[in-house]
Amino acid sequence: DTGVSQDPRHKITKRGQNVTFRCDPISEHNRLYWYRQTLGQGPEFLTYFQNEAQLEKSRLLSDRFSAERPKGSFSTLEIQRTEQGDSAMYLCASSLGGDRGPAFFGQGTRLTVV
C-alpha cells in the first residue's frame, strides 16, 4: 500500500491519559499535515511540516498537543491529558511540494475520550 498510513485506526482512552498517533506519508512527499475533524464539520488545521521542520501550528491548538517529524519521514501527534473535547477523527495528509495543499489523506485515527 503506497498511500498515507495512520496508526492506530481507533483509540479509546480515559480522560487525563496521554495518547500518541503515528502517520506514515507517501514516501517521496516532503509536506505533511495534521487535521482534526468532528461530525458535521470540515477538517480543522492543526499543524504542518515541510521535511522535518514544523513550519506552522494552529493558534487554536493548546499546549497539550505536540507533533514531531524526525528525519522528515513519519510523524507523531501526541495529546497530553486528554479531554472529552478532544474526541474527533485525526487526519494526516501529505503532498509533494507545489501549492496544492494536502493532496492525499490517510484513513484517520478516531479518538474517543471517555
Partner 1 sequence: QKEVEQNSGPLSVPEGAIASLNCTYSDRGSQSFFWYRQYSGKSPELIMFIYSNGDKEDGRFTAQLNKASQYVSLLIRDSQPSDSATYLCAVKGGGQAGTALIFGKGTTLSVSS
Nearer to partner 1, 16 or 55 (CB): 55
Q: Measured between alpha carbons, how far is 13 from 72 in angstroms, rounded to an integer? A: 28
Kindly state the smallest distance separating residue 16's Cβ from partner 1, in Å. Answer: 29
| Residues in 42-101 at the binding interface with partner 1, rule: CB under 8 A | 42-45, 48, 55-56, 58, 91, 99-101
Kindly state the smallest distance separating residue 14's Cβ from partner 1, in Å. Answer: 25
Residue 80 DSSP code? -
Of 55, 79, 53, 84, the residue nearest 66 (C-alpha): 79
CA distances from 72 to 33, 47, 51, 69, 78 (A): 12, 14, 4, 5, 17
Check binding of 103 to partner 1 (CB under 8 A). yes
Interface residues with partner 1 (CB under 8 A)?
31, 33, 40-45, 48, 55-56, 58, 91, 99-108
